[in-house]
Amino acid sequence: MAKQKKALPAPEPEGLDLIVRGGRVVTPEGIAEADLGVANGKIVRVASVIDDHASEILEAGGCYVFPGILDAHVHFNEPGRTEWEGLAHGSLALAAGGGTCFFDMPLNSEPPVIDAASLRAKRTLAEQKSCTDFALWGGLVPGNLDRLAGLRDAGAVGLKAFMCNSGVDSFQNIDAHSLREGMKRAAKLGLIVAVHAEDDALAARYTAEQKAKGRFNVRAYLASRPVEVELAAIRQALELAGETGCALHVVHVSSPEGLDLIAEAKAQRVDVSAETCPHYLLLNDKEVVKLGAVAKCAPVIRDERSRVALWSELRAGNIQTVGSDHSPAPPEMKTSKNFFAIWGGIAGVQHGFPLLINECLETLERDLPLFAAVLARNVARRFRLDEHKGLLAAGFDADFSLLRVSDQKHKITADELWTQHRISAYVGRQTRVRFTHTYVRGRPIWADGRIAPTAQKGKFIQPQR
């Protein structure tokens, strides 16, 4: 007897995978009440009402639908120093704070990412472990000029260089000559160069002065890195960018004076952008003295006048991107009577961004579009990911979060941290802003304050060439 042919199942009606319904959608241009329609991980429609069939409806009434944050500055330390953080913990904490994509820095992982092979090794690990999408920085160090083309071909989002001691021996800081040569090469390769801008000789001299006076406390550390340490390095980097035509990104600018130098160079057509970090906008030097090791970073957090001025610079458009510079370390490296010996770096990937928004509650609807620019759109544009990342519009990846402002203040506790070590500069702070849901390419990563059970893993994102 001939086997009967099984009837084919009826084709599924053409529909959406997801509708995000009834939220207030934030873009750099403004805020609009709209629904998002998502199919195959992409936003396919933004309209005032979408009532098609969809497999999932996410009710967003009472929330802002915020573009997924692209954090262009994290140190997740994997491979090699996984016990400091790691890609799984780091990406989860990022997602809990509204982030959908991180750019991992080339140092603190071991081996450092200074050639194509080390970039590929980190990429493989992140594809297995990260719940958010990711891009990878390559390193520009003395002696790796001939490996920069390999880094580009392997998909590096840019090159990072240290103008002062990086703290790790495997990632050497760069002298002016190597930086010039590196920038020439990077310009040819179409790679942006990011610099940690602090002058090594000045920092070393002021540090030695403090130590010679027998001063080793937090105040001595702050005094060892006055603003001129940062300004001298920014000036030099700007000069070299102008001379070589290389695109320059100055990371973690801590001072309005530094931003002014960058704005002047930009006006003279130097291709430069500036990043600052939440901690420079949220904390001042007096709070650093109180907080101690959790608030140690370089460049140092400056006085209240500078903090307030940084907000003015942000609103004036002189800061193009805000990145967390999440840089954790095990607790035992954060305790020493000698403040200089404590590992520097602020862990803040989970709460830094929502806390920034919390600072603006009185002007929220005016400021949210600005945050959509500096946390998403500008980052995607500067690093050439803007064909598909950084904007809530049709054709873009469905990377977004739901942001809720509650009437009640919530006090941040160590228990709620998803980072490997429950250390953060922001424990104890009060906030009314939280991200309740985070979706990457249309799939939930973080939902109702919990990790969403999902098989989706992060995707390696490469710049458009």
Instruction: Please report whether residue 198 would count as binding Zn ion according to CB under 5 A.
Output: no
The piece of 1-9, 172-180, 275-283, 319-327 that touches Zn ion (CB under 5 A) is: 319-327
Closest CA to 449 of 408, 418, 409, 407: 418
Instruction: Please report whether residue 71 would count as binding Zn ion according to CB under 5 A.
Output: no
Distance CA 250, CA 231 (A): 11
Tokens 């071991």 belong to residue: 110
Minimum Å gap between C-beta 421 and Zn ion is 17
Minimum Å gap between C-beta 129 and Zn ion is 20
Minimum Å gap between C-beta 261 and Zn ion is 20
The piece of 16-24, 76-84, 213-221, 324-332 that touches Zn ion (CB under 5 A) is: 324-332
Tokens 């002298």 belong to residue: 175
Instruction: Please report whether residue 104 would count as binding Zn ion according to CB under 5 A.
Output: no
Distance CA 198, CA 97 (A): 29
Minimum Å gap between C-beta 164 and Zn ion is 12
Binders of Zn ion among residues 15 to 34 (CB under 5 A) are none
3-state class (DSSP) for residue 463: coil
What is the total count of residues that contact Zn ion (CB under 5 A)?
A: 1
Name which of 325 and 397 has its Cβ closer to Zn ion: 325
Tokens linked to 365? 């609807």
Instruction: Please report whether residue 397 would count as binding Zn ion according to CB under 5 A.
Output: no
Contacts of 92 (CB under 8 A, 6+ apart): 131, 418, 445, 446, 451
Tokens linked to 442? 């249309």
Name which of 285 and 325 has its Cβ closer to Zn ion: 325
Name which of 35 and 325 has its Cβ closer to Zn ion: 325
Measured CA distances, 50 to 24, 382, 413, 437 (Å): 14, 32, 39, 20
Tokens linked to 23? 């939220």
The piece of 145-153, 163-171, 322-330, 450-458 that touches Zn ion (CB under 5 A) is: 322-330
Contacts of 266 (CB under 8 A, 6+ apart): 272
Tokens linked to 384? 């050439």
**Number of H-type helices and E-type strands within the chain:** 14, 18
The piece of 148-156, 285-293, 318-326, 328-336 that touches Zn ion (CB under 5 A) is: 318-326
Asked whether 74 and 132 are in contact (CB, 8 A), the reply is no
Name which of 325 and 367 has its Cβ closer to Zn ion: 325
Minimum Å gap between C-beta 301 and Zn ion is 14
Name which of 78 and 325 has its Cβ closer to Zn ion: 325
Minimum Å gap between C-beta 459 and Zn ion is 23
Q: Which residue is nearest to Zn ion (CB)?
A: 325
Distance CA 428, CA 410 (A): 9
Instruction: Please report whether residue 275 would count as binding Zn ion according to CB under 5 A.
Output: no
Name which of 71 and 399 has its Cβ closer to Zn ion: 71
Minimum Å gap between C-beta 186 and Zn ion is 19
Tokens linked to 290? 């109180």
Tokens linked to 249? 């990104």
Name which of 89 and 441 has its Cβ closer to Zn ion: 89
Minimum Å gap between C-beta 112 and Zn ion is 13
Distance CA 254, CA 230 (A): 8
Minimum Å gap between C-beta 225 and Zn ion is 15
Minimum Å gap between C-beta 277 and Zn ion is 9
Closest CA to 298 of 197, 213, 147: 197
Tokens linked to 371? 């945050």
Name which of 80 and 242 has its Cβ closer to Zn ion: 80
Tokens 């002058």 belong to residue: 199
Exactly one of 325, 367, 386, 397 binds Zn ion (CB under 5 A); which one?
325
To the nearest 10°, the Cα dihedral for 185, 187, 192, 196? 60
The piece of 155-163, 175-183, 255-263, 325-333 that touches Zn ion (CB under 5 A) is: 325-333
Distance CA 22, CA 465 (A): 37
Name which of 161 and 392 has its Cβ closer to Zn ion: 161
Minimum Å gap between C-beta 325 and Zn ion is 4
Name which of 325 and 386 has its Cβ closer to Zn ion: 325
Name which of 39 and 297 has its Cβ closer to Zn ion: 297
Given the rule CB under 5 A, which residues bind Zn ion?
325
